Structure 1
Amino acid sequence: MHDVLARQLADHVDTARAVEPLLAGVAELGELLCTTFAAGGRLYTFGNGGSAADAQHLAAELIGRYKRERRPLPAVALSVDPSVVTCIGNDYSFDDVFARQVTALAGPGDLVAGFTTSGTSANVVAGLAAAHEAGARAVLFAAGSGGKAAEHADVSLLVPSDTTARTQEMHLLLLHLLSEWVDAWAAGETDERGAVLQAATTG
């Protein structure tokens, strides 16, 4: 069993190294998220299972804080209201649980982020499509080619792995890197593009 665990750890480390090319995408998304918040927009996140936890984690980092004391930022995870989710799932379809909420809540100037390890989760694909219909921007956290979900994303962070566990581990790393970018901006240390402000380097 020890050998099995050692191989899993080695696979995690190798996948983390392979994620380095995604840093440019993290910067692009960080800039997009900062400009969204600066203009009064909101972030809506969603996913299924472990991906729902990742979506909630990102919202929590933004509303609470990552490392710095700064203002709370408007982010909403769309999987956390069981009455809404079960109402839509029961009266319509589980495939509609995110799209219907996005249609109700999101609009121009907002950002919608979907998490799916496969890129084929029907409700995530529909949620991202609904974002564009509402005039919002769409972001995807997925793996491989991103599947059908990538067709509806303005920015995609695609982990180079076909293993669900490794993909979710890297999604957590990516959302923490994104939180670092936004945290520094909201605390007044950088501008929206990540450039260090003079005030943050003096006195």
Structure 2
Amino acid sequence: MNNIIKNSLKNSLETNRKLLQDDQIHDNIILIARLCLDAFESGNKLLLCGNGGSASDAQHIASELSGRFYKDRSPLNAQALHVNSSYMTAVANDYGFSKTYERSVQAFGKKGDILIGISTSGNSSNVINAIKIAKEKKLITVGFTGIDGGKLNNICDYIIKIPSNDTARIQEGHILIGHIMCELIEKSLFS
């Protein structure tokens, strides 16, 4: 058991070390945070989607922005697309699971909004379909993925690729980047 603990911590530290040393990822974080700032200041919103742990990350990031992160302040319009379970199950039943987020973006997305699709593999069909419809509707599209980006690598306007193949380490990287973005956005808008 001790070996599992030490290996997990070691691998997490190694992934974070790679993130710390990657100036391209730093530049992308700043760019995406600025895009979010511009969207919020223009009355637009941030939509997020993912499956499983990535859905949890989407909801976590949305709640930090629409609730509060470090300081009491006005809420920002950030929404995780999976939180309406009746909608999700109805669309999954009637149209198939791959259409769940696509239909949400069709209903709620508008030009100038931002969609962040979170997928450790970069290959989740419902996230890919959401990104595609978002691009048609002129939303800014962002992918949070693992090391190779999967299919999202070729269709997102911007991408954050966590330098790992391990799902747990990728998810840890996603929430770390999400927290950093929340801090950048909050400090820029409410200082």
TM-score, structure 1 as length reference: 0.91
More helix by share: 2
Q: C-alpha displacement at 1:69, in angstroms?
A: 2.1
The alignment status of 1:44 with 2:47, answered yes or no, reads yes
Q: Which letter maps to 1:98? A: Y
Bigger Rg, which one: 1
The alignment status of 1:173 with 2:185, answered yes or no, reads no
Q: Deviations over 1:179-202 (max 9, x none)?
A: 110010121x3xxxxxxxxxxxxx
Distance (Å, rounded) in 1 between the aligned partners of 2:150 and 2:15: 19
Q: C-alpha displacement at 1:4, in angstroms?
A: 1.9
TM-score, structure 2 as length reference: 0.96
Alignment correspondent of 2:6:
6
Distance (Å, rounded) in 1 between the aligned partners of 2:114 and 2:89: 24
Alignment correspondent of 2:160:
157
Distance (Å, rounded) in 1 between the aligned partners of 2:4 and 2:48: 34
Distance (Å, rounded) in 2 between the aligned partners of 1:185 and 1:107: 24
RMSD over equivalenced CA pairs, Å: 0.8
**Any idea what SS the aligned residue of 2:145 has?**
strand
Distance (Å, rounded) in 1 between the aligned partners of 2:63 and 2:110: 21
Q: C-alpha displacement at 1:89, in angstroms?
A: 0.4
- Sequence identity, in percent? 36
Alignment correspondent of 2:59:
56
Alignment correspondent of 1:18:
18
Structure 2: state its 5+ residue gaps. none
Q: Which of structure 1's runs of 4+ aligned residues deviate more than 4 A?
A: none
Q: C-alpha displacement at 1:143, in angstroms?
A: 0.9
Q: C-alpha displacement at 1:107, in angstroms?
A: 1.0
Q: Which letter maps to 1:2? A: N
Aligned residues: 188
Distance (Å, rounded) in 1 between the aligned partners of 2:175 and 2:113: 22
